[in-house]
Amino acid sequence: MILPGQDPAAIAQAAQGLADGRLLGLPTETVYGLAADADNASAVARIFSAKGRPSDHPLIVHVAGSTEAEWTSAVNHYASAVPDFAQRLMRAFWPGPLTLILPRRAHVGAVAAGGQDSIGLRCPSHPVAQAVLHAARERGVHGVAAPSANRFGRVSPTTAAHVAAEFDGLLSDDELLVVDGGACDVGIESTIVDASRGRPVLLRPGMLTPDQLEKAAGQAVLPRDDAAPRASGTLESHYAPRAQVRLMDGQQIQSALDVLGADARHIAVYSRQRLTSASRHLVRRDMPTDAALCAHELFAVLRGFDDAGVKLIWVETPPANPEWDGVRDRLQRAAA
């Protein structure tokens, strides 16, 4: 069932479902999550099986809080220590699209953490997410484990309809509620910073730039290295539509279109440059020149190309500046 996120009765139903151990499609400002009570091991196990995700890939736990005082009690439920730089990052970017990996309290959230001795925590800013998390907190739920609500390796969902399309079986069996919070504002997954190993390490780029993170943290944020835990969003191939994605510069795409002429079929082009084609069958979308606008629409655009039945998606390589790191990362993994 899809519930309207503006309806207080729907929020109460969603929160009660979480407290009862049910799965929930939860809107956040980044992407939709497939959510369950992080302290309910069997509910969390059902997230892994619904997604087809290996059980040793840790999930992010979402906590309620519009102020530091509010999120601190939830953070302390799961984390055994919060380094100073992590506090500073929370103050700067929570509620918002930042996940922090913190040392985990023994015996808490072990299944959600996929067996790691750390835990990923995020306080989302989406008002519907906050409403659900607050109402669940009143029903005894400290935090809500939620990976992106897509099948393993596929494109993350940014609308309630995307979630329904990924899990139509569960939805029709009434095993899944989805709260509709509209199209996600940010559009790509949160920035992940590891704060469990003494110094901040950027595990997954998102819409926060390294520069913004360093200013807020008050120290250098290191790039990820081989000691970093395995994370599914960081596998080389991920976020993939069914069609094959290729990244090329505008001139390369233009040359390929020129060679194919009127015969270009089953091809989609997503570019900032204006390209010409003699084919009436070419599917195209203009890529925004602003990174935030591009992130906002990216996953819906890739899904739309799949729905149009194309076999190839040719994407103009994003600009080489840091604002585009998150979008470039998702496209490179989609193309891998």
Binding site for ligand TXA (CB under 6 A): 28, 30-31, 33, 57-60, 99, 101, 113, 116, 118-120, 122, 146-148, 189-190, 192, 203, 229, 231-234
What's the alpha-carbon Rg for the chain, to the nearest Å? 20
Query: In the complex, what is the shortest distance from the CB of residue 289 to ligand TXA, in angstroms, rounded to a whole number?
Result: 24
Q: Find the shortest distance in angstroms from Cβ 138 to ligand TXA.
A: 21
Shortest separation between residue 203's beta carbon and ligand TXA, angstroms: 6
**Quick one: CA torsion of 62, 64, 9, 40, rounded to 10 degrees?**
50
* Among ligand TXA, Mg ion, none, residue 13 binds (CB under 5-8 Å by kind): none
Question: Of 146, 129, 109, which is closest to residue 65 (Cα–Cα)?
Answer: 129
Q: Which residues pair with 284 in a beta bridge?
A: 269
CA distance 49 to 159: 22
Nearer Cβ to ligand TXA, position 80 or 234?
A: 234
Shortest distance, position 53 Cβ to Mg ion, whole Å: 8
Q: Which does 33 bind (CB under 5 to 8 A by kind): Mg ion, ligand TXA, none?
A: ligand TXA
Query: Smaller CB distance to ligand TXA: residue 158 or 277?
Result: 158
Give the residue from 308, 312, 310, 286 showing the smallest Cα distance to 298. 286
Report in angstroms how near the CB of residue 174 gets to ligand TXA at its nearest.
Answer: 22
**Which is closer to ligand TXA, CB of 203 or CB of 216?**
203
Report the C-alpha gap between 128 and 115 in whole angstroms: 30
Q: Could you give phi then psi for residue 235, rounded to 5 degrees?
A: -65, 155
Q: Is 118 or 148 the residue whose CB approaches Mg ion more closely?
A: 148
Q: How far is 13 from 188, CA to CA, in rounded Å? A: 27
Task: Work out what residue 326 binds among Mg ion, ligand TXA, none; the CB cut-off runs from 5 to 8 Å by kind.
Answer: none
Q: Residue 14 binds which entry of ligand TXA, Mg ion, none, with Cβ cut-offs from 5 to 8 Å by kind?
A: none
Nearer to Mg ion, 13 or 148 (CB): 148
User: Residue 28 interacts with Mg ion (CB under 5 A)?
Assistant: no
In angstroms, give the least distance from the CB of 251 to ligand TXA. Answer: 34
Q: Which residue's CB is nearer to ligand TXA, number 225 or number 320?
A: 225
Nearest-approach distance from CB 107 to ligand TXA, in angstroms:
15
CB burial readout 14-53, b (16+ within 10 A) else e? bbebbbeebbbbbbbbbbbbbbbbbbbeebbebbbebbeb
Query: 157-187 in b/e burial notation, b at 16+ Cβ within 10 A?
Result: bbbbebbbebbeebbeeeebbbbbbeebbbb
How far from chain centre, in Å, is Cα 227?
A: 23
Q: What x-and-dash track marks residues 137-156 binding Mg ion by CB under 5 A?
A: -----------x--------
How far apart, in whole angstroms, are the C-alpha atoms of residue 42 and residue 84?
Answer: 34
Q: Which does 51 bind (CB under 5 to 8 A by kind): ligand TXA, Mg ion, none?
A: none
Alpha-carbon dihedral angle through residues 274, 276, 280, 281, given to the nearest 10 degrees: -70
The residue ranges that bind Mg ion (CB under 5 A) are 148
